[in-house]
Amino acid sequence: MPDPLARQWPHDAAALDAEQIRIGALSPPSWQPAAERLLVGGCFLAFAHGEQGPGRAGDHGWAGAVVVECPGLETVASVVVPCVVGAPYERGRLALREGPALAAAVDALPVRPDVLLVDATGRDHPRGAGLAVQLGAVLDLPTIGVTQRTLAAEGIWPGPERGATSRLLLHGVVVGAWVRTQRNVRPIAVHAGWRVDTDTAVAVVLACTGSARAPEPLRRARTVARKARANAGTLRD
């Protein structure tokens, strides 16, 4: 039986573009953390060796999702969902390749996070709805994008201290920030997502970042996905 969640995702570029334009034009109510204890989710898709990069329809992957409690950075939930993706990667259309799988992994978590970190852009997108925004809209969950580089936005790097930030602008609008998570370490791009503005996104990311450069929910989601990939390879040998 088809996954009902997957049916909410467009299956071709034209339909995706139209849906991104629709979602990008929405103005949902802003989310703010409601308590000192915050459950921050992260999701990441690891592809089979040789199927990374642009790839193709039919590539195999493992979608990992975790929930980390902040403060304290304790993992409270973790899942991995094997998947077969339906499209190659195209710039600005990452949702076609990864959206359904990441949604299925987050939906499988036994604990619902308060906010979700996504390895994708948010409002930094030609149609205003990168995968971080679109995933939040589908799951009805506040989201934040965290990436190594921007898609279309521009901004100078911040100062060298941990917590230093600088704005990312797209057509004169703030869509995110460069954030220095460790002193003298390359900053990461933190993106406003579904129901989460830039200032809140930065605060959440810094709150759930430990001694590594990447925030812990994303780092741990990447780890569990890659471990599942390694284990699958061992079982085939």
Task: Judge whether 48 and 26 are in contact, CB under 8 Å.
Answer: no
The 10 Å Cβ neighbour count of residue 167 is 16
- Residues linked to residue 154 through DSSP beta bridges, in sequence order: 169
Instruction: Give the closest residue to 62 by CA, choosing from 194, 211, 229.
Output: 229
Q: Where are the domains of the chain?
A: 6-12+37-236
Give residue 235's pLDDT.
47
DSSP H stretches of helix in the chain = 13-24, 94-108, 131-139, 198-207, 216-236
pLDDT band of 140, cuts 50, 70, 90: very high
Task: Judge whether 164 and 180 are in contact, CB under 8 Å.
Answer: yes
Residue 233 reports pLDDT greater than 80: no
CA-CA-CA-CA dihedral for 79, 83, 88, 90, to nearest 10: -30
pLDDT band of 4, cuts 50, 70, 90: very low
Q: What is the pLDDT of residues 29-66, one digit of tens each?
A: 999 998 788 999 999 999 998 888 888 999 999 999 99
Q: How far apart, in whole angstroms, are the C-alpha atoms of residue 78 and residue 39?
A: 12
Looking at the chain, how many residues does it have? Answer: 237
Whether this prediction's pTM lies above 0.85 is answered by yes
Instruction: List Cα–Cα distances, 36 to 32, 46, 70, 153, 209, in angstroms.
Output: 11, 32, 8, 32, 16
Q: How far apart, in whole angstroms, are the C-alpha atoms of residue 55 and residue 157?
A: 31
Instruction: Give the closest residue to 28 by CA, choosing from 134, 108, 179, 109.
Output: 134
Q: Rounded mean pLDDT of 205-227?
A: 97
Q: Rounded mean pLDDT of 192-202?
A: 97
Q: Rounded mean pLDDT of 8-25?
A: 93
Q: What is the pLDDT of residues 155-181, one digit of tens each?
A: 999 999 999 999 999 999 999 999 999
Q: How far apart, in whole angstroms, are the C-alpha atoms of residue 80 and residue 83?
A: 10
Task: Judge whether 79 and 105 are in contact, CB under 8 Å.
Answer: yes
CATH architecture designation of domain 6-12+37-236: 2-Layer Sandwich (3.30)
- Residues linked to residue 170 through DSSP beta bridges, in sequence order: 173
- Residues linked to residue 82 through DSSP beta bridges, in sequence order: 62
Give residue 5's pLDDT.
45
Instruction: Give the closest residue to 3 by CA, choosing from 107, 116, 98.
Output: 107
